[in-house]
Amino acid sequence: MSKLRIFAKLVRLDQWYKNFIVFLPLVFAANQITYSVTELFIAFFGFCCISAITYIVNDWMDRGKDRLHPIKKERPLASGKVSGRGAIIVCIILAAIVTAISLTLGTFYGLIVGIYFVFTNLYSFGLKNIPLLDILMVSGNFILRMSAGFAALPSLDALPYFGLLFGIITIFLTHKRRSDIKMLGKKAVEHKPVLKFYTIRNNYIFRAIAYLLVIASSYMLWQSGLSIYKIIGPFLLLLATSFIFSENPEYTSKPQWLFRSKIWDAVLIGNILLFIFT
């Protein structure tokens, strides 16, 4: 494997798409204090760098357990393709870039990045072992990603969108926990002790609560004047995604594989057309 590919795996380049959430305020909060498109691209890259640092820290902490996972064992630190010293050098370079971007975009962005860094490392250093809190913290990090698209604290009008995002990510994470159990079998708890808490019953309860949050947030958006089509479409996409994750556990580790499903592609295209023409 080339050094470039190893570096891409180290910083989890294939996970950077998650940071496109930074652009969401352009879609639903253009009337609030947001960055320009150019500034959003800078904010996006900054979040890619800070998330890469946290990925490296997490992978270093989990390198022993990751060797037990059929997919994670190929990560550079778990496989030994990158040394601890090499990882530290990469983190220093990324931290310098994030600092420069934070100084450019201002205090609010820097605050969001700082909170994200602290929360994610608290997760890596132990909070990920606390049932339910582990899921809530990851969902909260997606909220921080979206917050980074604002140049200042958003108004209460944006609250339903934050609730919607939080609920959707929580649903996906319940699938991720069950998928890990299915793929790892008896080694699941050894790989991640918190998995013993995610029984089928508990998982369905958490998922149902998250769906209620999604429905409540969607209702608030409808009450505020959002087209019913722009609410039903994404909800159908959520249901399709949930179904596919249930049928294909490995997709939760590689969400980009969703594009392999013709059903999911059709629902996604339908949503795009709805957004354009309604």
Element (H, E) at 26: helix 24-28
Domain residue spans in the chain? Answer: 11-134, 155-278
Per-residue pLDDT 10s for the chain (278 aa) are 577 888 888 888 888 888 999 998 887 776 666 788 899 999 999 999 999 999 888 888 777 777 777 677 777 877 777 777 888 898 999 999 999 999 999 999 999 999 999 999 898 888 888 999 999 999 999 999 999 999 888 888 889 999 999 999 999 999 999 888 888 777 777 777 888 899 889 999 999 999 999 999 999 999 988 888 889 999 999 999 999 999 888 888 888 889 999 999 999 999 888 877 77
Supply 271's token pair: 């949503």
Cα–Cα distance measured from residue 134 to residue 189, given in angstroms and rounded to the nearest whole number: 15
> Please, are residues 94 and 50 in contact by the beta-carbon 8 Å criterion?
yes
Beta-ladder partners of 34: 150
> Please, are residues 61 and 124 in contact by the beta-carbon 8 Å criterion?
yes
Which residue type sits at 110?
Answer: G
Cα–Cα distance measured from residue 139 to residue 161, given in angstroms and rounded to the nearest whole number: 13
List, as one string, the DSSP characters of 109-131. Answer: HHHHHHHHHHHHHHHHTTGGGST
Q: What is the DSSP letter of 82?
A: S
Q: Residues with Cβ < 8 Å from 185, sequence gap 6 or more?
A: none
Q: Which residue has the tokens 């201002």?
A: 106
- Sign (positive/negative) of CA torsion 155, 158, 160, 163? negative
> Please, are residues 240 and 267 in contact by the beta-carbon 8 Å criterion?
yes
Supply 136's token pair: 């809530």
HEC readout, 179-239: HHHHHHHHHHHHHCHHHHHCCHHHHHHHHHHHHHHHHHHHHHHHHCCCCCHHHHHHHHHHH
Range 11-134 has CATH code 1.10.357.140: yes
Residue 221's SS3 state is helix
List, as one string, the DSSP characters of 1-17. Answer: --HHHHHHHHTTGGGGG
Q: Which residue has the tokens 């899921």?
A: 135
Half-sphere exposure for 174 (CA within 13 Å, toward CB): 22
pLDDT at position 31 = 67
Q: Which residue has the tokens 């019953």?
A: 201
Cα–Cα distance measured from residue 207 to residue 196, given in angstroms and rounded to the nearest whole number: 17
Cα–Cα distance measured from residue 178 to residue 252, given in angstroms and rounded to the nearest whole number: 10
Distances (CA, A) of 112 to 54, 88, 97, 190, 209: 14, 23, 16, 34, 27
Cα–Cα distance measured from residue 169 to residue 25, given in angstroms and rounded to the nearest whole number: 17
Say if pTM beats, i.e. exceeds, 0.75: yes
CB contact burial 172-182 (16+ within 10 A = b; e otherwise): bbbbbbbbbbe
Q: Considering only CA atoms, give the Rg of the chain.
A: 19
Beta-ladder partners of 150: 34
pLDDT at position 142 = 95
pLDDT at position 226 = 86
